[in-house]
Amino acid sequence: MTLREASARFLEHLKLEDSHAKDESHPQTQTVDHLTSYMPEAGLSELTPARLRDFIARWYVEQANHTPEPEALLVSLAQLLKWIDTNTGATLAESCRPVIAELRESLPRALEITAALSTHVQAGGAFGFPEFLTSFEEGGSSEYDLGTGGSVGAVDGYFRISRIEGTQVEAQELISNERVWPVIFPAEAAALLGTGYVINLEVVRSSDGWRIAACGFAYPPGTEF
């Protein structure tokens, strides 16, 4: 049996018990639609804990417009997996339970970090700093040189948070493995951070460290790219 077939049977079962499940905005319906869009041709054996984690921590963050809400998504996934196990003899619920439990706190927090950083960037962010404007008037830069005193540069990529001291944050760029310190975060975003979170950022050098010029999504710790 494929994941799509099992999911369709699960929804039919729900519709017999709850007429609201026929609504496309119902959390279980949205969850099944998202999961089968992520794995359209998958068999049940392909829904491993690693694949489920990637679906929740990366695909949902980037593609699903955060509907249903994170808690509803995780509850719906647990219900789906339990139903599949009961009706097919699979053991998905047990193997995937640690993933769902781990992301109950970190997934909503990642979305909050994204919202806080987006508000900061929209309000001006690094664009209010003369160093940033000067660097881009001179053509900007796609990389930084930590060994050149006083130089102005910019870098964008996926950064894993490795240290937090108030609003000063050390982050490791995942491709180059370079550590950038200090990245100055807005207080409301810094208060939400924890080590291990991954954030898509563009940072620019300023006189007191690195400032955030643009941001993409924040992801729970352990997310792979």
pLDDT digits (tens, 9 = 90+) for 66-107: 999 999 999 999 999 999 999 999 999 999 999 999 999 999
Domain region containing 36: 3-90
- Tell me if 107 is assigned to some domain: no
> 90, 125, 147: which is the final residue of a domain?
90
Tell me if residue 71 falls in helix, strand or coil: helix
The CATH number linked to 162 is 2.40.50
Burial classification of residue 124, based on how many CB atoms lie within 10 Å of its CB (0-12 exposed, 13-18 middle, 19 or more buried): exposed
CA pair distance 32, 92, nearest whole angstrom: 15
- Are 157 and 67 in the same domain? no
CA pair distance 113, 116, nearest whole angstrom: 5
- Are 80 and 10 in the same domain? yes
pLDDT tens by residue, 19-62: 655 566 789 999 999 999 999 999 999 999 999 999 999 999 99
- Tell me if 106 is assigned to some domain: no
- Tell me if 11 is assigned to some domain: yes
> 74, 90, 106: which is the final residue of a domain?
90
Domain count, the chain: 2
- Tell me if 43 is assigned to some domain: yes
> 42, 57, 90: which is the final residue of a domain?
90
Query: In this structure, what DSSP letter does residue 127 have?
Result: G
CA pair distance 198, 102, nearest whole angstrom: 16
- Are 61 and 27 in the same domain? yes
| pTM (2 d.p.) | 0.84
Tell me if residue 40 falls in helix, strand or coil: coil
Which residue stretches of 39-69 are H helix?
Answer: 49-54, 60-63
Query: In this structure, what DSSP letter does residue 2 have?
Result: B
